Amino acid sequence: MTNKLFTILVFAVLSVALISCDSSQKTIEIQKRVYTTAIGADDYATALNAAHQIVGIDKQSTYLDSIAGLYFLVGNNFGAEKIALECLKLRPKSIEVRRVLAKAQKNMGKYSDALLTYQELIKEDESRTLDYEYSIGECFFFMENFQSCLEYMKKVTDKEQSTTKEIELVFNQKRQKVSYYLAAMNTIAYVLTISGSPEQGISLYKQILERKPDFALAMSNYEYALKLEEENSKGK
């Protein structure tokens, strides 16, 4: 091969590589704009598609983190966990990704795994201590470790911001926002009720419903506690 022919071939290869690189960068920029617009419109399906296209070109892009979060938002907890674990191989200290991981694991019933993640987060992210303590309490509840559950729910109610900061609960396929204080009090009352002290639970439910009469979950639990107390009275 002559030097001239070799030079031509090298130039051609470099030109193709540069064109390909330029094309990929343009695709990324276009998809970033699509992603931003879609997120603004709560169009998570389009946002997911755009993020996947970006990551398809740039494997280490932080848009991989966004995919994990979006999977969680659309209810794909399995996908959220899977992608979050991939993200953490690249960015093991990411608070946001670990939050997604913990929430997805909790939703899937992997309470022990979620608990470990939340216990790490609570040491590193003081800005969300209230949320982490409530979530840890939930994990202990579903693991039937009621003593630890009560301990963490009490930590929640002891915090002043628990009366003003809200959490969204789901009951009978309906969402309702209540303060962290009332949500934690509801759990405490329920644990007391099922642990043999329905009268204490009833007392707490009355306090809760005085503060928020339309708290659907608390009302349902209150009715259950009344029924349980009545059954206990008949059995004596």
57 within a domain of the structure (yes/no): no
Distance CA 126, CA 122 (A): 6
234 within a domain of the structure (yes/no): yes
pLDDT band of residue 21 (cuts 50, 70, 90) is low
Given a contact cutoff of 8 angstroms between Cβ atoms, the answer to whether 51 and 66 are in contact is yes
Place of tokens 């030079």: 7
The 10s digit of each residue's pLDDT in 166-188 is 999 999 989 999 999 999 999 99
CB-based contacts of 165, cutoff 8 Å, min separation 6: 130, 179, 180
100 within a domain of the structure (yes/no): no
The 10s digit of each residue's pLDDT in 190-229 is 999 999 899 999 999 999 999 999 999 999 999 999 999 8
186 within a domain of the structure (yes/no): yes
190 within a domain of the structure (yes/no): yes
Place of tokens 């603004």: 40
Place of tokens 């907890």: 77
Task: Provide the strand spans (E) within 110-225.
Answer: 166-171, 174-179
- Residue 129: count of CB within 10 angstroms of its CB: 16
The domain that contains 186 carries what CATH number? Answer: 1.25.40
Q: Print the domain residue range for 207.
A: 158-236
Domain count, the chain: 1
Distance CA 153, CA 136 (A): 9
pTM recorded for the entire structure:
0.84
